[in-house]
Structure 1
């Protein structure tokens, strides 16, 4: 028997060609480091509402107990992007890490009462002068809450070097107050609400209202070499934050927003319902970094003069 060969005739001009499936754009995986505060709401929303996914980003939020450890985790590639406070970020750059800002989280606001310095019940601490000689817990030495509180003390005529600052993560604050290990804590919701509800402490001052409005409380940062290799991913990350900010700013989305935040910072509904949510600021500009550089220089926290224009990924 003769074996027949199948011969394909050349396609005539204008005939339909065999359609090949388009190559899917590769997905970039990002482990993102956050701490348990509402300033990260835009990241949580971008994950849950699919804003990252539609830009081919697979973002895995990872809880980090102390904000001050985030730059080291980024440097080691345990995190590809993380959310240090501006002061933690600028100190890491001052120390030699080549990290850049991809976007921003929450913003300062004069109406913000979601963080404060909380005195231990019975201490009677109220004024800035009352903190001299006291033990004050902060959720990260050199982080936003610590630097802002020291700025408030200095503005109030108090030498912050006469205050004993002790690093303690947010979840420890209530127990350390109740046990008498600390006289006060610089803390934030939802942990602050729990402390107040339990009677372990009281608000001594909403000190943060002295800060200039519209300044970033969280920066989304990455290694410069990672951004150079993943420019589309870095841009997509920022674009997703912009879309998430629009979601956050719509009053109709508040119930959904609070449910999303609760998933990541693990708070009961009754606490979540009372929490103040930081306004989002997804795009960072030079004057915002300049503000923090000035505040930190005033506290002798920087050895160099950072060129902020080179620190923002374009």
Structure 2
């Protein structure tokens, strides 16, 4: 009978024990990936706030630090310079950055458009007598980022109403400035979003002239959560973990039992009192971004001459 080589058997047992030990290692023993995530003061970043506060990042060995950025178009340059490793530009800002030479990719999405959403609108200064798209001609209108989501979507709406958007003067202004700029008379109207829109209206500074965003198709990403391609290539496990954490956050948001917690977490990061947040309409989460969803934005931007050519959209999304 053939004898078993004791050394081979011993080596096999050692290897088996090592493998079992590796499987049993707790999550906190794994290397932690740190990253700074750039966000603007809107509720569509809820999934990031929840993933941090509910521990969805931590349990996946991620240390994601949210950092407030005043203007959305500032996010891609900050990612490129490594001041941020992750961030949430609007789809249009992202696509412009890519065409400009930045090799960035989409990991997940933030919020999604919905025809039932009235948390976005054209808010006119009290007494401005702006009621229709035609009334916007010759007016100064503030947007929270030239070429960003609200700007591109509003220009698309103007076209559907027969208005040439080049006859409107658009001025870049961050969300927190909107009320003061209307009150001071620097702007005739703003394209804004809750919770800022609700505060402007409740204060009497302005009124909603149009919930223009209700014309947009359902299910379009309002934000895309992005990173440099080389960061994803160097940190593939962290990238997958980020996607999984955002997906878990979406489940949390969709559970009606968590409604109060969702608003509590949002309030921590965009610094609004509970009574204000209680009235804000939240957009549905969109953890997975598909090529056809980016294509709508790309087509609008080509028509508005914000892009020179349609990019290879499939290559811009991390599966």
State the TM-score, normalizing by the size of structure 2.
0.92
| Equivalent residue, structure 1, for 2:5 | none
Distance change in 2, residues 1:279/1:13 (3 Å): closer
C-alpha RMSD over aligned residues: 1.7
SS in structure 1 opposite 2:84?
A: coil
Question: In the alignment, is residue 107 of structure 1 matched against residue 112 of structure 2?
Answer: yes
For the pair 1:232 / 2:237, whether they are aligned, the reply is yes
Partner of 2:60: 55
Q: Deviations over 1:30-49 (max 9, x none)?
A: 10000111110011110010
1:13 Cα offset (Å): 6.9
Gaps of 5+ in 1: 1-11
The equivalent of 2:221 in structure 1 is 216
Q: Deviations over 1:15-41 (max 9, x none)?
A: x98x88757321000100001111100
Shift of 1:304: 2.2
Deviations 1:212-248, CA, capped at 9 Å, x for gaps: 1000000000000000001111111011111000000
Q: Secondary structure at the match of 1:225?
A: helix
Map of 1:132 onto structure 2: 137
TM-superposed deviation, 1:89: 0.2
Find the partner of 1:152 among 148, 153, 157. 157
Look up the match of 2:313. 308
**Structure 1 residue 298 corresponds to structure 2 residue 306:** no
Does 2:108 match 1:88? no
Q: 1:197 aligns with which of 183, 197, 202?
A: 202
Alpha-carbon offset, residue 285 of structure 1: 0.9
Q: CA deviation at 1:88?
A: 0.2
Match for residue 284 of structure 2 among 262, 279, 284: 279
Residue number among 166, 172, 180 corresponding to 2:177 in the alignment: 172
Query: Separation in 2 of the partners of 1:32 and 1:167?
Result: 22
CA distance in 2, matches of 1:295, 1:100: 20
Equivalent residue, structure 1, for 2:6:
none
Note the C-alpha offset of 1:100. Answer: 0.3
**TM-score for both structures, normalised by structure 1:** 0.93
Give 1:297 deviation, angstroms: 1.0
Counterpart-to-counterpart distance in 1, 2:79 and 2:260? 33
